[in-house]
Amino acid sequence: MSAQHIPTATIDPQAQPAIEMIDVHKWYGEFHVLRDINLNVKRGERIVICGPSGSGKSTMIRCINRLEEHQKGRIIVDGVELLDDLKRIDEVRREVGMVFQHFNLFPHLTILENCTLAPIWVKKMPRKEAEEVAMHYLTRVKIPEQANKYPGQLSGGQQQRVAIARSLCMSPKIMLFDEPTSALDPEMVKEVLDTMVGLADEGMTMLCVTHEMGFARQVADRVIFMDYGQIVEMNTPDEFFKNPQHERTRLFLSQILH
């Protein structure tokens, strides 16, 4: 099955898709990074995206909250099309949480301030309520006792869990993960993955760029393999790992699975 033939019939026509990418192209100068991306993400769907470095997987999910601009095609997130309108882009970003490879916490603010900043300033939530929400999510990622420390005082795994909590404080409908465990020491990968599994179990719509194939097997509804800016193969995890169709996918899997 190739990317161009998404079985649209399987998508429930009642439910509007969470994300729709239609014929999306992107160039960095002359370099064609994203080519003909077509993707429909249902609500509550968990998608894992893998591929060699430079294949455009990060660029693709960064287009969804407009950290990168696409030059051709349409991207519709939660019913809002991403155009040049700044107000709409902010609207989309409010609904879409993102977790980065290097956490991108704000080092000059405490953990609690990191988590309450956006609810207070973007959602105009009263400070007290925002702090309650923040403590709720910090408890959920199991670090409420670190609330008054600064990011630099935490381990990588803790920082990444704070980053997840910070996104959750905005009650997003969709979460994007851009290689969330790639910058972590091996001992800390599991604590972050456990948090993500918990999130997946609660029905969050998730797009996750990762090479953690165990995670893909455990939670993903679909696995996407990208190369040269294209979606090369997309399938359920079972089929994807057991029975890869495309030659490039087989080569990639043989190199990362031992």
Tell me how long the chain is.
258
Quick check: 43 binds another protein (CB under 8 A)?
A: no
65 or 249, CB closer to another protein?
65
Beta bridge partners of 5: none
Q: How many CB atoms lie within 10 A of CB 243?
A: 9
Among 35, 91, 100, smallest CA distance to 62 is for 100
The encoded tokens of residue 214 equal 């165990």
For residue 215, the minimal CB distance to another protein (Å) is 21
Q: Cβ–Cβ contacts within 10 Å for residue 63, how many? A: 23
The distance of closest approach from Cβ of residue 30 to another protein in the complex, given in angstroms and rounded to an integer, is: 21
The dihedral sign for the CA sequence 6, 74, 35, 67: negative
- Residue 155 as a binder of another protein (CB under 8 A): the answer is no
Per-residue binder mask for another protein (CB under 8 A), 66-105, x = binder: -x------------------xx--xx-xx-xxx-x-xxxx
255/219 Cα distance (integer angstroms): 22
Q: How far apart are CA 192 and CA 163, in angstroms?
A: 10
Q: How far is the CB of 19 from another protein (least distance, A)?
A: 15
Total residues contacting another protein by CB under 8 A comes to 30
Give the integer Cα–Cα distance in Å for 153 and 138.
Answer: 16
Measured from the CB atom, the residue of 145 and 201 that comes closer to another protein is 145
Q: Which H or E element spans position 49?
A: strand 46-50
Q: Which is nearer to another protein, 65 or 158 (CB)?
A: 65
Closest distance to another protein from the beta carbon of 98 (Å) = 4
Q: How far is the CB of 76 from another protein (least distance, A)?
A: 18
Q: How far is the CB of 120 from another protein (least distance, A)?
A: 10
Pairwise CA distance, residues 138 & 232, whole Å: 38
Question: Of 117, 135, 197, 253, which lies in the binding site for another protein, with binding defined by CB under 8 A?
Answer: 117
Q: Which residues bind another protein (CB under 8 A)?
A: 65, 67, 86-87, 90-91, 93-94, 96-98, 100, 102-108, 117-118, 121-122, 150-153, 166-167, 170
